[in-house]
Amino acid sequence: MSDIRQSPVSLPLPMRERTKSRQDPSAVSEIHQSQPRVDTEAMGRELQVIRGRVDRINGLLLASRDGLLLCGDTRGPHEESVAAMAAATIGLAGKFTDQAMVGEPRAAVFEGMSGHVCIFPVDTAILLVVFGERDTNTGLFTVAARQALAQVQMAINRHTVS
């Protein structure tokens, strides 16, 4: 009897194109030029107001699509890491929803033992991360997160730098 097991297929991993080193000053300026042009200081104040207005929300954070922190009003999480993970999560969500043939991702929601987190693409350049309170069910959190999203979208329109 022959062995029907086959050796695993070795496929190449997808690779990013190499870019200029971060130590190269022109590379740093390219990074900053690709960032959304919002007044991050004003948006930071807006996030505080929105967090105070929307029940069941205990933190908000804005990140660029490439994972850089724009501003945040959170209690506890390392904001720079969360911004990077939010970008990676939405990238993966895009691949997942594409394979599932359900269109572009509108949100990625996670329920943890002590709360919720949701990531929304606000526009082509900005992501919103919403943190939810402990002991809130997923439905109520989703409603609250979408309320926060609507308020953040209005605030971004007011604070976009031309």
- What is residue 158's predicted lDDT score, i.e. its pLDDT? 87
Least reliable range by pLDDT among 10-19, 33-42, 63-72, 117-126: 10-19
Name the pLDDT band for 98 (thresholds 50, 70, 90).
very high
Summarised one tens digit per residue, pLDDT across range 102-146 is: 999 999 999 999 999 999 999 989 999 999 999 899 999 999 999
Name the pLDDT band for 27 (thresholds 50, 70, 90).
very low
- What is residue 162's predicted lDDT score, i.e. its pLDDT? 65
Q: What is the dihedral of CA 30, 36, 39, 43, to 10 degrees?
A: -130
What share of the chain has pLDDT > 70, as a percent? 77
Of 20 and 55, which is predicted with more confidence? 55
Segment 2-23 shows an average pLDDT of 43
Spatial neighbors of 152 by CB under 8 A, at least 6 apart, are 46, 47, 50, 60, 62, 122, 128
Spatial neighbors of 138 by CB under 8 A, at least 6 apart, are 109, 111, 116
Asked if 80 and 23 count as a contact pair (C-beta separation under 8 A), the reply is no
Name the pLDDT band for 147 (thresholds 50, 70, 90).
very high
Least reliable range by pLDDT among 18-22, 62-66, 109-113, 148-152: 18-22
Strand 108-112 to 115-121 pairing: antiparallel
